[in-house]
Chain A
Amino acid sequence: MLALQPPQQAPIEAPQIEYSAILPILILLGAACVGVLIEAFVSKANRWAAQVTLSLLAILGAGVAFIVYVTDNPPQRGLTTLYKTIAVDRPALFLWGTLLALGLGALLLIADRTIERGGAFVAQAGIRPGTIQDRVQAASGGMQTEVFPLTMFALSGMMVFCAANDLLTMFIALEVLSLPLYLMCGLARRRRLISQESAVKYFLLGAFASAFFLYGLALLYGYAGSVKLADIANAAAGSAASDTLLFAGFGLLVVGLLFKASVGPFHAWTPDVYQGAPTPITAFMAACTKVAAFGGILRVLTVGFESTSWEWRGVLWVVAIASMVIGAVLGLTQTDVKRMLAYSSIAHAGFLLVGALALRPEGLSGTLFYLLTYGFTTLAAFGAVSLVRDSSGEATHLSQWAGLAKRSPVLAAVFTFLLLAMAGIPLTSGFVGKFVVFSAGIQDGMTPLVVIALLASAVAAFFYLRVIVLMYFSEPAPDGPTVTVPGTFTTAAITLGVLVTLILGVVPAFALDWAGTGTFAF
């Protein structure tokens, strides 16, 4: 039975690995593993200091490795490594830089212990909410320091996600970034029930989304015989296989991605999770997950499915419109600041999708730039939200924000600036972001979509303005919340966000240059 013998296999070669290129990810993953060990071996009293130091050093180290690599190798085209599963090209590098900077900001918010004694996280997650022990833990100074290694895992997952060149790697990265997030959502110190509810909700819906992604992956593998994006693109260009498989697979895959990016109508988890999760985690999710998810969407659409764009673009038009309309209209009815920002993020996801759909260099660079601007603005905004507190914790109900400008002119001014940036008023980064994304859209002949997007931004402006009205024009309630004076960490994070929002609004040219050089490598 010679014929059935397996063909002579070539000896397995170890893949070429460009260690210098993926060093930032390795550093973060290493730090995450060491962080887990710290949990096991360092005494409870010293854990927080050890974890914070390690995480900060890891992000800074990853940043240094990243900068060294970028300055040494300015490749226009980029390279692929690890058997072509990871593409270190310009978009990936831009997203990595963005993620590292945003991750640093989020980490600072997570590490802050001045706003609330012991930090925003529960002392012991195992204690049931509402019990006496729970009250004791709420008043205690400890926290679950596992948050730090979890953050590192999530961040490295995100970095892999937006550089993943095949769908299987992408799926693994998706899980690496999602699982820690599910956990961290449930770790709020105050209002623990809503926090745990958000964690469960996120987990269940996220599991569904992952399943969709996996089914899509399977169908695409059936179609193309490969999970590599480039192979799928080749197969789509000239394959006799049934298109049903291709588009069913694509559809399922994209649903999984859109879910992570909280694009409507796959947004249902967003408001609840944004509201329930500890605010630093919300900031981390809103900024970094969005960047990673859109990085993935950009790569999948451009590398894998550009040749078939004619068939699926109409559907994503509808998705983009739905997202903008849902975000803008439902945002109007919100009475909670965090939920309002969640709907705003849904609307922004719609705007981002306009750029991602343009499928041309301008669209790519525009979307990348928009991600950078939106990430920093939203990070600072959630940082600011965490400062407004009353005796029961954060005061996120909008009515509690009345007259805030009188209590704390600085916070009100900062938050107003960030809201104006989200509304897209000139001289903020939000405006430049909209300009570049929408100009890419018009260049690609999507004028109706852009007009709808602009109308949606006008509607969304209304709820941003409403907060400004509340803060400045209303009289403060007598028993209203106070504004905590933040410590170094949170101040640094908010300042970082505000400065980037301002600088990218006034002199955006350099960042546009970064975003605009080079395309995907595959």
Chain B
Amino acid sequence: MNTQPAAMIAGTSGGGSGLLLALLLLPLLGGIVVAFLKDDRMAKLTALTVSLVELVLVVPAWITYVPNGSRIQLALSVDWIPNFGIHFSLGIDGIALTMIALIGILTPIVIGGSWADKLPEGRGAAGFYSLLLVMQTGMVGVFAATDVFLFYVFFEAVLVPMYFLVGRFGGPRRQYAAMKFFLYSLLGGLIMLASVIGLYVVSKDYNNGVGTLDWQTLSTVMDQAPLSTQIWLFLGFFVAFAIKAPLVPLHTWLPDATAEAPIGTGVLLVGVLDKIGTFGFLRYCLPLFPAASKELAPLVLILSVLGIVYGALLAAGQNDMKRLMAYISIAHFGFIGLGIFAFSTQSIAGSALYMVNHGLATGMLFLVVGMVIARGDSRSIRDYGGLAKLTPVLAGLFLFAGLAALSLPGLNSFVSEFLVLVGSYPNAPVYAIIGAVGMILAAAYVLWAYQRVFQGPVRGNALVGLSGGPGTAGDPAKASIADLGVREKVVLAPLVVLIIFLGFYPAPVLDVLQPTVDATLQSVGLADPVGGK
């Protein structure tokens, strides 16, 4: 294979270039195999094995990655459509690496968490797990692509399995939710396609007359483009990403999709898929259109802060637990957006770290919520009450995940949220202050939800049956609701460990992220107000 062009740019680690390809293809092949398995248990086991092997493959990638090495590592590039200067090129920077690691960690957890899910009638487990694995390939591809065209391909391709996962295996209104999700994302994607094509055409003027979609080349030449051109191209990308990592007012598909998606799919949706948007800001909007990014930063900051407050308020008002997860995520994406467009090393590092932490904390909260729903068979908070008496371990883990999501010091999200706020204060003090208010609201919606579901006497339709009615005292006979089983504990344990570990010692991840963050900020060409490293 012709790996020369990118290998020359990447310089280091030519040997590991096959690794990304393996990470990319393994889930796809696994998914194809699983699709043909007739036996449900066999399908689940195969899927779990594949996802664990994938996780193991992440380890050498993490080890070979040199944080202070070249911008894109483990690079691999093959000519794909030479007529348009398009390569099949893969490579990772620190942010992509951490996201791929997050995917590697979450997928087996999600498979374990979905193990006992009741699928809609007539739908086999093989289809579900096969789509899950195929989607994993798409997600890895999005983060590993270093050609804008290839990125776009994965960006769109990942929609298809997600669409089927929601539409085939979701809740009662799954068709509507799947369609809404797909159309929103496709619309964003097509607007981005206009920008991708525009980027290719414009790049001719700054790249010696040769159009290219290679990210590394583009990131060095596109800053010469005039501001107006940059703004148009930026907006095309921005709309697509703002739909993905839903910024208010482009968010309305997320609550529907999250509410109707099966729990495992929902975790991947808010945990990873939506990060494509924030990753896109960092990887494409900032380096490719630096002038436009600076020019339009106030707009993005306003939307982000709006998202923080709006998401938090709606989360507080939610009765549907899964929609609650969606609004919590919207608030968190607001923080990430704030950090990115505040343009300081700390805030951007905070945002990049937040992308991982949100995946872990909200992912865990989502899984726990799934376990509650599995027991009570209702998504409505009103149908519960006093569940802690029946399932103390579940209650404890809900509280733990909730505290992680509201950024309690000592748990992982705190570090990132703190970095975002500290880093954005010098550049955007007003936004940072409003964002900080969001932290308080976060405490309100998490704790209130916990209180309503778990505290007090056992009550609610889901727990004491319809005859009991709300407020009825607990019927001990209803104690058939069991606490967490071994499988569920095993599924949640790694998340608990990671959340605590990263809360006290985020350095391993931050060290990987920092050089990439510095490089990103450098490409925007702003002096770092905080001083940074």
Contact = CB atoms under 8 A, between A and B. Distances in A.
A347 to B, nearest CB: 13
Contacts of A427: 153, 157
Nearest to A441: B197
Nearest to A369: B83
A512 interface: yes
A458 B201 contact: no
Contacts of B153: 426-427, 431
Contact of B156 (A406, A425, A473): A425
B408 interface: no
A465 B182 contact: yes
Contacts of B168: 472-473
A442 B198 contact: yes
A388 B19 CA distance: 45
Given A426-B156, A469-B175, A454 B193 contact: yes
Nearest to B149: A435
A469 B191 CA distance: 24
Contacts of A469: 167, 175, 178-179
A457 interface: yes
B309 to A, nearest CB: 30
B167 A451 contact: no
Interface string A424-440: 11110001101110110
B198 A465 contact: no
B504 interface: no
Contacts of B428: none
A465 B164 CA distance: 11
Contacts of B179: 462, 465-466, 469
B194 A461 contact: no
A406 B198 CA distance: 42
B197 A438 contact: yes
B152 interface: yes
B83 A513 contact: yes
Most A Cβ at <10 Å: residue of B79, B182, B186, B193:
B193
A133 interface: no
Nearest to B190: A454
Contact of B81 (A432, A443, A451, A454): A432
A474 to B, nearest CB: 8
Most B Cβ at <10 Å: residue of A466, A473, A508:
A473
A438 B194 contact: yes
Given A420-B160, A439-B200, A509 B80 contact: yes
A474 B120 CA distance: 12
Contacts of B183: 458, 461-462, 465
B156 A455 contact: no
A99 to B, nearest CB: 23
Contacts of B198: 442, 447
B197 A439 contact: yes
Nearest to B204: A443
A512 B190 contact: no
Interface in B50-83: 79-83
Contacts of A432: 81
Interface in B175-197: 175, 178-179, 182-183, 186-187, 190-191, 193-194, 197
A515 B182 CA distance: 33
A448 B84 CA distance: 22
Contact of A472 (B159, B164, B194, B201): B164
Contact of B197 (A425, A426, A435): A435
Contacts of A426: 152-154, 156-157
A160 to B, nearest CB: 29
A516 interface: yes
B167 A443 contact: no
B356 to A, nearest CB: 27
B174 interface: yes
Interface string A401-425: 0000010000000000000100111
A450 interface: yes
Contacts of A455: 187, 190-191
A512 B85 CA distance: 12
A450 B156 contact: no
B175 A473 contact: yes
Contacts of A431: 153, 156
Contact of A458 (B80, B174, B190, B197): B190
Contacts of A512: 81, 83-84
Nearest to A513: B83
A503 B122 CA distance: 33
Interface in A62-117: none
B194 A447 contact: yes
Interface string B68-111: 00000000000111111000000000000000000000000000
B91 to A, nearest CB: 19
Contacts of B157: 425-427
B193 A435 contact: yes
A9 B80 CA distance: 59
A516 B83 contact: yes
B194 A473 contact: no
B194 to A, nearest CB: 5
A291 to B, nearest CB: 21
Nearest to A506: B80
Contact of A509 (B82, B175, B193): B82
A128 to B, nearest CB: 45
Contacts of A474: 175
A509 B83 contact: yes
Given A436-B84, A451-B194, A454-B194, A473 B187 contact: no
A472 B166 CA distance: 12
Nearest to B184: A458
A458 B200 CA distance: 21
Interface string B197-219: 11011000000000000000000
Interface string B35-49: 000000000000000
B3 to A, nearest CB: 18
Nearest to B82: A509
A434 to B, nearest CB: 8
A417 to B, nearest CB: 10
Given A426-B157, A451-B194, A473 B81 contact: no
Contacts of B194: 438, 442, 447, 450-451, 454
Given A432-B81, A513-B83, 5 more contacts: A424-B190, A425-B159, A436-B84, A458-B186, A472-B164
Top 3 nearest A-B pairs (CB, nearest first) are A426-B153, A454-B190, A512-B83
Interface of B: 79-84, 122, 149, 152-154, 156-157, 159-160, 163-164, 167-168, 174-175, 178-179, 182-183, 186-187, 190-191, 193-194, 197-198, 200-201
23 contacts: A406-B122, A425-B160, A426-B154, A426-B156, A427-B157, A432-B81, A435-B149, A438-B197, A439-B197, A442-B201, A451-B191, A454-B191, A454-B193, A454-B194, A458-B190, A461-B182, A461-B183, A465-B179, A473-B168, A474-B175, A509-B79, A512-B83, A512-B84
